[in-house]
A = this chain, B = another copy of it.
Amino acid sequence: MKIALDVLGGDNAPLSTIEGAFSYLDDQGDSAAELILLGDKAQIESTIQELSRDKDDITIHHTTEIIGMNERSSRIFREKPDSSLVKSIQLVRDGEAQAAVSAGNTGALLASSLFMIGKIPGILRPAFAPYIPTDNGGFILCDAGANADTKPQHLVQFALMACAYMEHLGNHPNPRVALLNIGLEENKGNELTINTYPMLKSHISNFIGNIESRYLLDGKADIVICDGFTGNIVLKLTEGIISHLMGWIQKGIESHVINKDASSICQPIFDEINTTLDHEEHGATPLLGINGVIMKCHGSTSARGIKNSLIATQKTVQENLIADIVEILSKHTDIIDNSTKLSEANPV
């Protein structure tokens, strides 16, 4: 198996990406996949030297273009065809790698994957499904930002794909699926959630109903379904509040003269919480619905995050997540049939 690794995406690239790649090779030994590192060849080689590693352990694929901060993600594959992000996806398309891993811009990764590889046949929209860790076991949030505007049939497919993915994550059969909503009752919500509820009820075996955002961290659901706008708001708000509150408490402890010992006393507790909440533990998540294994790492991922992402990627390819999504979809083709009927009845 070959995995294409975009070394230029992410806040700590390329150093931590390359460090993570070697850490993965150390960890997996003989069972490791072959790694193709994409980026500037000279920069990759000098980083490898800096890390006192052997460049013969990996393959370097030289790319010449850099993706800037302000570029439109929907045009990257046209405007930066020789960037490490786009080339990584191209290798998967051409069968030269079985998966690609990137910590680059989610929108660019998604748009390029859609254009160059396309969707799994039958899938209406791809979705971004990160794992949100909590002290109660965590959950998958789907969609967390791939689609800003969605329809009920999209959300039902997101739920089916997330179920297939959750079962891959570990021995988690029949995950509990909830619909993110502003009330518990079936008739509560906006037009989208009110129309989605009965469809989830009929298509998802372990649909547990609506969940209010107040209880998201309480471990009641394994998969939380929502549109990508709401999911992205939830994802970033969760990260923002936790980081804000932890900083606030630590500042408070430091500023109280009387509590000069409290900082060291509380440190193990903060460390424990930070470890639990750490997205690095989980590694990358696949862009669900793309007809190839394209894995997205958190933008601020560290070497450890890259290592865990590569492990997750290898597992996703070996266990053939895409075949499982195809299989689960084949049992629910009426979602699309109904959706076709719907669009025929209401032509835009």
A: residues with CB less than 8 A from B are: 134-135, 145, 148-149, 180, 182, 189-191, 193, 212-218, 227-230, 232-234, 236-242, 244-246, 248-249, 252-253, 256, 258-259, 261-262, 265-266, 268-270, 272-273
Q: Please tell me if the beta carbons of A233 and B232 are within 8 angstroms of each other in the complex.
A: no
**Residue in B182, B229, B238, B268 whose CB lies within 8 Å of A145:** B182
CA distance A227 to B230 in the complex (A): 11
Query: Given the interface contacts A233-B180, A233-B213, A266-B266, does A189 sit within 8 Å of B148 by beta carbon?
Result: yes
Closest residue to A253 on the B side, CB-wise? B269
Kindly list the 8 A-B residue pairs having the minimum CB-CB distance in the complex, ordered from nearest: A214-B240, A213-B237, A148-B190, A252-B269, A214-B236, A182-B232, A262-B265, A190-B229
A230's partner among B145, B230, B248, B270 (CB-CB below 8 A) is B230
Contact of A237 among B228, B237, B246, B270 (CB under 8 A): B237
CB neighbours (8 Å) of A253 from chain B are 266, 269
Q: Are A240 and B216 in contact (CB under 8 A)?
A: yes
Which residues of B have CB within 8 Å of A189?
A: 148, 229
In the complex, 14 of the A-B residue pairs with CB atoms within 8 angstroms, ordered by the A residue number, are A145-B182, A190-B227, A213-B232, A217-B241, A217-B244, A229-B230, A237-B238, A241-B245, A245-B246, A249-B270, A253-B266, A258-B265, A259-B269, A265-B265
Per the bound structure, the CA–CA distance linking A238 and B239 in Å amounts to 11
Q: Which of B193, B240, B242, B269 contacts A215 (CB 8 A)?
A: B240
Contact A273 B252 (CB under 8 A): yes
Q: A182-B233, A213-B240 are in contact. Are A262 and B252 (CB under 8 A)?
A: no
Interchain CB contact under 8 A, B249 and A269: yes
What residues of B have a CB within 8 angstroms of the CB of A191 in the complex?
148-149
CB within 8 Å for A256 and B269 given contacts A148-B182, A229-B182, A242-B245 = yes
> How many whole Å from A271's CB to the nearest CB in chain B?
10
Minimum CB–CB distance for A229 against chain B, Å: 4
Contacting residues, chain B, for A212 (C-beta < 8 A) = 236
Known contacts A182-B145, A232-B182, A252-B269: A240-B217 contact under CB 8 Å: yes
Q: From A269, which residue of chain B is reached at the shortest CB distance?
A: B252
- Smallest CB separation, A214 vs chain B (Å): 4
Cβ–Cβ < 8 Å partners of A265 in chain B: 258-259, 261-262, 265
| Cα(A213)–Cα(B242), bound, Å | 12
CA gap between A245 and B134 in the complex, in Å: 10
Q: How far is the CB of A103 from chain B (nearest CB, A)?
A: 17
Which residues from B are CB-within-8-Å of A262?
262, 265-266, 269
- Apart from A149-B191, A213-B236, A218-B240, what 16 extra A-B contacts exist at CB < 8 Å? A214-B236, A214-B237, A214-B239, A214-B240, A217-B241, A217-B244, A230-B230, A233-B233, A245-B273, A249-B266, A252-B269, A252-B272, A258-B265, A259-B268, A262-B266, A266-B266
